[in-house]
Structure formats: C-alpha cells, structure tokens
Homo-oligomer: A and B are copies of this chain.
Amino acid sequence: MTTTSAQTTWLTALRETLPPDALHVDPETLAAHTRDSAPFSEAGTPAVVVTPVTVEQVQGVLRTAHAHRVPVVPQGARTGLAGAANADEGGIVLSTLRMDRILEIDPGNRLVVCQPGVTNRALSDAVAEHGLFFPPDPASWDTCTIGGNIAVGAGGLCCVKYGVTADYVMGLAVVLPNGDLVRTGRRTVKGVAGYDLTRLFVGSEGTLGVIVEATLGLRPPRRPSLALLAAFGSTTAAGEAVAAIIRHGHEPSALELMDAVSTSAVVDLGHPILDRSAAATLIVESDDADPARALDEIARLCRQAGALTVTVAADQEQTTAILDTRRLVLPATQVKAEQMPGDTTAFIEDVCVPRTRLAEFIDQIAAIAEEYGLYISTIGHAGDGNLHPTVVFDRSDPDAVERATRAYDAIMAAGLELGGTITGEHGVGTLKRDWLSCELDPGALRIQHGIKKLLDPLGILNPGKVLAI
C-alpha cells in the first residue's frame, strides 16, 4: 500500500496528538486489525491503528479524523459476528483494548464504572469479588470487551432470565465524531430526564460515537443452579415443551435448544449423555431458590410434551456435564467442518423469532440445509426465540459459497416471514445492512439515517456499518 500525500498530512497531525506507542503503521499490526469474526463481509487494510489510553487521546484522534475527513472504525476484541468492526481501506482503526480499567465498583448502589476495553470476563470476575453479578454472557465473554458488548447490544445464555447488555447500561461517556465528549444517562436506578440517549448509543455499533466509559448496573449474586436435559423425537415436541415452560410461569436461567445436527455432532465428539436419535435436545438451567423443585416441574412438562428421555442433574457436577453439551456445539461443529473436504468454515447466524414460532423455524432451517445441500447445525436461546444456525461450507469452492450465501438469505427471509428480526444479539454490521431495509419500515429507516447525519454529518465514523452510506 502506498501512502498518499493527503495521508501523510493527517498521519502527521495524528502523531502530534498521540504518544508514539499509541500509533501503529507496521504491516503486521495493520493486517491483524482488518476485520472482526464475520465472514462474507467486506474489509480493508487501515493506514493506521491507534491504541489510545485516555479519553483526551480518543478526542484527539476523532478531531484529527474529522478535520481531515478520514474514516475511523472503533474496534474492541474483534469477536463481533456482523462485520461492524471491519476496517476501511486506508482509514484509521481505533482500538479501545488498552482502555481496560475498572474505575469504580459501588456495591451500595450496585453499579460499576469502567472503560470500554475491559473484557466481559474481567468485569464479571471483579464485581463477583464484591458479591455482585453482571449477567450478560455472550459466548465470547472470555475475550470480548464491554465496549463491544454495548456497541452491538450483546446477549448471551442467561439473558432469558436476566436481560441483555442494554438492560444494564445506566450511563455512557461517548466521544462524538467531531471529538466532543458527551455524557448520557445517570447513576440512579431510575431517571427520565430528557430523551434516552444512552439507549441510542447502545447497539449503534460504533457509528454514532466512541464509547469511552460506561456505568453499568449489577445484580445480587446468582444462586447455585441445577440443570436438566431432555431429548425429543420432533422439534415440534421440543417447541411445545418450551411453550409449556413459559406458560407455566417458570423463569429458567438458561433455556437452550440443540437441533438433531448439533446433537449428533456433540455425540460424535464423545459426549456420553446425549441421545443421538433426538430430533431436538433441550437444556434447562434453573437458579431459583429451590431449583430441584423447579426442574421437577419442568421435567414433567417436558414429558407431557413427549420427551423421549429427561435427565435431571442431582448435583453441580452433573449440572456442569449437561451445560457442557451446549458449550461443545461450536467446537463439535468446527471438528465436523475440519473433517469435510476443502477449506471449510463455520458461519454463525443469528435470527430471533417469536418464541411460539421456534419449532417451525427450526424445521424450515433443516429444509433450507436440505435444499442447498449444506451442513447446518442449529442451536439457540429457545426461551428468547433466538436461534444461531451455523452454516458449514467450503470457502474455496465458489459453488459452495454461492449456496451458503443463498441459504443465509433464505434463513433471514424465513425469520422475517415468521415475524422475527434479522438479528437478536449479533448486530447488523455490513453483513445484514441490506436486510435492515426489509425489516424496518421506510419511515423508521429514514429516522435512523437522520440520526446518523445529525451525529456524524461528515460520515467519518464507521461509515457503511448498520446503514448504507
């Protein structure tokens, strides 16, 4: 890549606002920051990666970018699955990874104030030491950052009971595209002073501002949990069990579903407790005051819905074994992918439908896999109606890529047809940008474009993500 004279000008200006160790132009660093974890999404090589450690440095970067009209892409741990953190060719990548301090833990008000680069795990561990619980638990929680979690509105397993990231964001400090710093929200439990700007930034995928600080609500510690596993002969029966569990007022702390493909993948990996013949496996975790009693009732509902077998954990060890089956789906799918010929990859989808349409959706996904001759394993947060079909395909084979792309489109269309949304918790990024106009009505889309224009009139911040330029 050659450096243009315009680039030289703004790079010089950038060097004046940042210490040397916060500015990287070596090819290895640039190459390592081109994209997040989404396939099928355009990405370029940035001209520079900046790693500020202070709010003032972030402001300096944005002011420079604004003055020179250079695109800036905020990045956390790049675990995102929609391409929202993919770099622009020749632009600036702003990594928040070094802003990783927890600034305050306030047990009396059950809140924590932190910088965006702290990982979900580090935050969860730190507040746990004070007997507190930060519920959002995306699969990548070990490495993903809080800033990224807020930017995409991340979910996880336990949000069926405890809500998603958005529900825990009380306030933010955000650097706007012009470098101005604004504070939104509050430190109080309640508050309705003015329009809700906090929620506007949550889920905006780094297109409206760079989150530099977050005030997050916390919960009392979780009680010990128990789990059960139920195997069903049809997805319809599993869907009926889910509906019955909800209808009877249960509040499981996880209510997860594995389809036939993911069930047998985990069996093949050597996990003993699953039933290979199951059309669907349901995993239910309860952290109620009396989880054994709750699970007994849930087991009865599963049997009534036609479960082939129901295994209720008697202790923590058996609970872990049951929950592990769910965690093993992705590794098991990746093993399957490696065993297939070609340069295979596993592409994780994210569609959410009304809970009552879950079984129907799973059957439609199976039909789509059949139609396009693809291996698709489906797991999901059944309690939320949020499914993650994972499409395995050979990316070196244009025909397979074409079939995978068409299957992906068919899954989106089916989800919308069932009254669902194109993304439950992964975000829009570039991957689903074109689908957004299928979901939103034209008036709502116009307002979204208006808000983008209001906050980023020059269109320099994460351009082309969520909304088309």
| A247 partner, pick from B108, B196, B247, B432, beta carbons under 8 A | B108
- Do A197 and B444 have beta carbons less than 8 Å apart? yes
- Do B220 and A190 have beta carbons less than 8 Å apart? no
Asked if A405 lies at the interface with its beta carbon under 8 angstroms from chain B, I say no
Asked if A458 lies at the interface with its beta carbon under 8 angstroms from chain B, I say no
Asked if A186 lies at the interface with its beta carbon under 8 angstroms from chain B, I say yes
Segment with Cβ contacts to B, from A66-74, A115-123, A433-441: A433-441
Given A197-B444, A454-B447, A191-B243 contact (CB < 8 Å): no
- Do A184 and B444 have beta carbons less than 8 Å apart? yes
How many copies of this chain does the complex contain?
A: 2
| A182 partner, pick from B164, B191, B447, beta carbons under 8 A | B447
CB distance from A55 to the nearest CB of B (A): 13
Per the bound structure, the CA–CA distance linking A106 and B160 in Å amounts to: 18
CB-contacts of A396-428 with B (<8 A): 419-428
Asked if A167 lies at the interface with its beta carbon under 8 angstroms from chain B, I say yes
Per the bound structure, the CA–CA distance linking A18 and B383 in Å amounts to: 45
A binding-site residues for B, Cβ under 8 Å: 106-110, 131, 152-153, 155, 159-160, 164, 166-167, 176, 180-184, 186-197, 199-200, 202-204, 208, 220-221, 243, 246-251, 288-290, 352-356, 381, 383-386, 419-428, 432, 436, 439-441, 443-445, 447-448, 450-451, 454-455, 466-467
Q: List 20 A-B contacts (CB under 8 A).
A: A106-B356, A131-B249, A166-B196, A188-B353, A189-B352, A189-B355, A190-B424, A191-B421, A191-B423, A192-B424, A193-B428, A194-B428, A194-B445, A194-B466, A196-B202, A197-B444, A197-B447, A199-B200, A288-B289, A451-B451
Q: A195-B466, A196-B200 known; 4 other A-B pairs, CB under 8 Å?
A: A188-B386, A190-B352, A193-B428, A194-B440
